[in-house]
Amino acid sequence: MRFSCEKKDLLTGINIVQKAIPSRGTIPVLEGVFVETISDMLRLKCSDLALSIESHIPALVEAEGSVVLPGRVFSEMVRRFPEGRVEVECDSERTVKITCGHSRPTLQGMSASEFPHMPVIPEAGAVEISQCRLKNMIRQAVFSVAADESKPILTGALIEVEDDDINMVALDGYRLALRREKLHRKHNSNRFVVPGRTLSEAAKILSDEDSMISIYTGSNQALIDLGYTRIATRLLEGDFIKYRQILPQEHTTTATVSTLELLEGIERASLLAREGNNLIKISVQENKFIITSNSEIGTAYEEIEAKMEGKQLDIAFNAKYFVDVLRNLDDEQIMLNFNTNISPCVVRPVEGERFLYLILPVRVFGA
């Protein structure tokens, strides 16, 4: 194998694919970056078996071949190379000679034949969506996936496609995020559950542009195709919770507040929430929310302007669940629905149905 490419292209490619390198490695070859020449391109790939990412960069190929290079060192090395041309030559012993300016390191490669292949998934029935739209959906939903593995299916987010609707749903038993978007055309019905880690890494790779990408789904795998870059992931198996059944149909109190004021008030109050439960109380009153909390060293008292209709109520929450939602919303104002102080709060946009968050309250004795 012998090729040359621009340092900046190589670095861009490595930065994309290395997101799939497992954090704790047990299989040595997976700690590497797979490098393969394809006519006038270089294919780079990393995989932790559950998630695989490949990317293509332009290269001048003089002899075809493939090899796996030690991932962490190769990526740090390329980052520190001077700008310019990188030349790479791999011999039959997989000794890889690299030249960039006056830097001429040699790396011991591993056999590319042991590296996992990207799954082959039929291209029929792909979901088509713009990069920025998918990125935004992920950002506004993925924080609600379960962190613990006791119910593995909840560590992923459900993606539902129906006609020109796409929904992303994540829930962990204490809160639920539902993010709805429109597709540019009708699609066949489709439902699949993507691991949260895949979505988080994909969101870092997706751009803020509105170029279209395709999502192909097989029985237990999916492929997000960005053109030069492809993200393959296993899907989570099992039945996702029938979330529609737990969305409240009625409410007795509706309030409209500034997203930023509510976020800042809750963040300040949580500084004085007793460590561990992170408990804040919200008193929903006619023209305002009063947020309070207390700990050994003091008490918080925050007033937020609100437009309220319906019954007043006092309700308590884990501050983190509100902060996660509010930090990821771009809407200046949001609407909150309450029933009682033991039923979930619903966070919605002032207009439309783009998102819906459910946050379970904390039952406070003597409140």
Task: Tell me which residues touch a second copy (CB under 8 A).
Answer: 70, 73, 76-77, 80-82, 96, 102-108, 264-265, 267-268, 271-272, 296-304
Rounded CA separation 64/3 (Å): 8
- Of 226 and 291, the one with the shorter C-beta distance to a second copy is 291
- Tell the smallest beta-carbon distance from residue 108 to a second copy (Å): 5
- Of 1 and 236, the one with the shorter C-beta distance to a second copy is 1
- Of 14 and 77, the one with the shorter C-beta distance to a second copy is 77
Q: What number of residues does the chain have?
A: 367
Rounded CA separation 76/90 (Å): 19
- Of 210 and 305, the one with the shorter C-beta distance to a second copy is 305
- Tell the smallest beta-carbon distance from residue 315 to a second copy (Å): 19
- Of 13 and 70, the one with the shorter C-beta distance to a second copy is 70
State the CB neighbour count (10 A cutoff) for residue 26. 7
- Tell the smallest beta-carbon distance from residue 81 to a second copy (Å): 7
- Tell the smallest beta-carbon distance from residue 288 to a second copy (Å): 9
Provide the residue type at 1 as one letter: M
In Å, the largest CA–CA distance within the chain is 78
| Cα separations in angstroms, 239 against 71, 193, 328 | 36, 9, 28
8 A C-beta contact, residue 299 and residue 336: no
8 A C-beta contact, residue 310 and residue 297: no
- Of 70 and 196, the one with the shorter C-beta distance to a second copy is 70
- Tell the smallest beta-carbon distance from residue 183 to a second copy (Å): 40
- Tell the smallest beta-carbon distance from residue 96 to a second copy (Å): 8
Provide the residue type at 135 as one letter: K
Provide the residue type at 128 as one letter: E
Alpha helices in 81-171 (DSSP H): 131-139
Element (H, E) at 179: strand 175-195
Phi, psi of 251 (to 5 degrees): -155, 155
Rounded CA separation 17/135 (Å): 17
- Of 151 and 301, the one with the shorter C-beta distance to a second copy is 301
Q: Which pair of structure tokens corresponds to residue 50?
A: 């559950």
- Tell the smallest beta-carbon distance from residue 86 to a second copy (Å): 13
